[in-house]
Amino acid sequence: MSDVQADLTVRGEPGEAGFGDYVQLLKPRVMSLVVFTALVGVLVAPVGGPSGQQLLRLRKTAEGVVQEDLGAVSFVPLLAGTL
């Protein structure tokens, strides 16, 4: 089981967004990814801009978050009708 707990009703101060405000904006598939990431404790994401990106893996451990660099990557958008 996971030790992750979240109160989805938390609102930010006037003029600021709270966690619950962000959750309301998420599409169901994105929310599923957020929940899965929280439960498993692993996030893999490309970090950087068009000139260069690194693929990072973040893992939650008992000591905190561990960041691993998985190497250089270049993600490009898929264009409709090109496959």
- pTM over 0.85? The answer is no
Query: Which helix (H) or strand (E) segment is 23 a member of?
Result: helix 19-25
With cut-offs at 50, 70 and 90, classify the pLDDT of residue 1: very low
Predicted confidence (pLDDT) per residue in 29-64, tens digit: 777 777 777 788 888 888 888 788 999 999 988 888
Q: How far apart are CA 1 and CA 21, in angstroms?
A: 26
φ, ψ for residue 21, nearest 5 deg: -65, -40
Q: Which amino acid is at 52?
A: G
**What's the CA angle centered on 37, arms 50 and 19, to 5 degrees?**
90
